[in-house]
């Protein structure tokens, strides 16, 4: 809306408050959506066959009941850090099938040193720690489901502000009956 009393601004360059507000909101929305693009691209490259392979090799390497949704996220994140993850998983599965393995001890000694063993150890580590890398800004996938808390979950709480676990504010931690004697 040009001001009829101003002659220093042509109407082609005028900017209304609504246009400025809509432009600013669009720009802010674009910046807010920008961090979401890499995970979407990584998830698109991680196929269902890769997910199945990851869960199959994970169930051989880790003898626990594993959550498939957590496994899907861990596998997709590992594939972004390690582009040859699919080939390495196929190699690990081939060694396990060659040994008719049902548990990790059946085939792990036959895994050669190098990328295959490093990948196997990285998969085990991801399930137990709930993170894929040791970087300070690493994304936590499964604090509540991290396997490192399993052996002590009856007496030790998961690190959180809530005593009974993440987002659990109602129950109390179990009391210690006896202090251990050393």
Model pTM score: 0.61
Q: What is the DSSP string of 41-65?
A: HHHHHS-HHHHHHHHHHHHHHS-S-
What gap in Å lies between CA 8 and CA 11, rounded to an integer?
10
- Kindly give the confidence (pLDDT) of every residue in the chain, 182 residues in length, as a single tens digit, with 9 standing for 90 and above: 555 555 565 565 566 677 767 777 777 777 676 665 554 444 445 688 889 999 999 999 988 888 888 888 889 888 888 889 999 999 999 999 998 988 888 889 889 999 999 999 999 999 888 888 888 877 777 666 777 777 776 776 666 555 555 566 566 655 666 666 66
């Amino acid at each position: 809306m040009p001001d009829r009393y101003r002659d220093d601004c042509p109407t082609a360059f005028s900017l209304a408050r609504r246009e400025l507000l809509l432009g600013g909101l669009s720009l802010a929305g674009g910046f807010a959506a920008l961090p979401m693009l890499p995970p979407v691209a990584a998830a698109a490259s991680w196929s269902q066959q890769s997910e199945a392979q990851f869960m199959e090799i994970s169930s051989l390497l880790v003898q626990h009941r594993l959550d498939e949704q957590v496994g899907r996220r861990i596998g997709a994140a590992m594939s972004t850090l390690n582009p040859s993850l699919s080939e390495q998983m196929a190699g690990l599965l081939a060694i396990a099938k060659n040994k008719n393995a049902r548990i990790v001890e059946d085939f792990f000694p036959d895994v050669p040193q190098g990328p295959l063993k490093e990948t196997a150890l990285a998969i085990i580590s991801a399930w137990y720690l709930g993170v894929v890398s040791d970087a300070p800004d690493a994304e936590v996938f499964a604090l509540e489901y991290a396997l490192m808390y399993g052996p002590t979950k009856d007496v030790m709480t998961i690190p959180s502000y809530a005593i009974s676990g993440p987002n659990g504010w109602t129950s109390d931690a179990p009391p210690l009956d006896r202090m251990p004697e050393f």
